[in-house]
Amino acid sequence: MTKQLLAGQRALVTGASSGIGRAIACAFAEAGASVVVNYRSSREEAEQVACDIQQRGGKAIAVQADVSEPEGCDTLFGAIERELGGIDVLVANAGLQRDAAFTEMSLGDWRKVIDVNLTGQFLCAQEAVRRFRQQGLDSQRSPALGKILFTSSVHQAIPWAGHVNYAAAKGGVKLLMESMAQELAEEKIRVNAIAPGAIKTAINTDAWESEEAQEKLLKLIPYGRIGEPEDVAKAAVWLASDESDYVVGTTLFIDGGMMLYPAFREGG
């Protein structure tokens, strides 16, 4: 059996009823963590994730909460305290897209994406830090007081026409993460981000469902395949584990090389 990188760790994964969040929750449990599987509206899916984890001998519970509201975060952290006795790892992952051409974008869609993808991550991270401090350092458990992973995106760096709300939120996550990491490292709180590229999930079905779309998308991915949620989850396990204890304030891109300006392969 491979070493369980997250043995004994208590983790909260937001937006874990589907896609990348679900894969992270499952991989964390596989690596030995107990997991709170947060969802906002997909109750059945979230309970299925928890159930799958339990059936494989892991510990997981599904908890409903809207992370973009302070009350939602209170519920969530109350549940993790009650059910798991504390928190060691937060994966602030919940996110969505509401795409539109710039002048067509409604204020509602701008706000929704900023609220969930940026403010939601801020609120959860703030509460996690408070809890880490209350719990105190337990060096048997981890050399870190606590660990936070943000789910960012290649679009924290790659501008994205037709998605200004999403790119603005992810750009915000980058500097939220880096500023927090700088502020909190002396307390042994480790803050990092994972930044997926094109991963096959429901958020981007249009980009890979048809052959034509796939072909177009693959031009942007030097490694020649679209990512799977498990590609991201494996990296997240390592970044949340103490194997990466000296990694602080870093964004780990999991993108098959999408960040490498692939359009320049034949030009420039």
**Helix, strand, coil shares, percent, the chain, to 5:** 50, 15, 35
Helices 229-240, 19-30: axis angle to 10 degrees equals 50
Q: Is the dihedral of CA 93, 96, 102, 106 positive or negative?
A: negative
- Output 84 or 199, the one with its CB closest to ligand BGC: 199
Q: How many residues bind ligand BGC (CB under 6 A)?
A: 9
Region near ligand BGC per CB under 6 A, out of 26-34, 45-53, 148-156, 241-249:
148-156
Q: What minimum distance in Å lies between the beta carbon of 14 and ligand BGC?
A: 15
Q: Is residue 55 classed exposed, middle or buried when 0-12, 13-18 and 19+ CB atoms within 10 A define those classes?
A: exposed
Binding mask 222-241 for ligand BGC (x = CB under 6 A): --------------------
- Output 68 or 117, the one with its CB closest to ligand BGC: 117
Name the H helices within 38-163: 43-55, 70-84, 107-114, 120-135
Give me 104's structure tokens: 């067509």
User: Which 3 state secondary structure label does DSSP give 204?
Assistant: helix
Per rule CB under 6 A, is residue 200 in the interface with ligand BGC? Answer: no
Q: What minimum distance in Å lies between the beta carbon of 105 and ligand BGC?
A: 16
166 a catalytic residue: yes
Q: What minimum distance in Å lies between the beta carbon of 223 and ligand BGC?
A: 13
Binding site for ligand BGC (CB under 6 A): 97, 153-155, 197-198, 203-204, 207
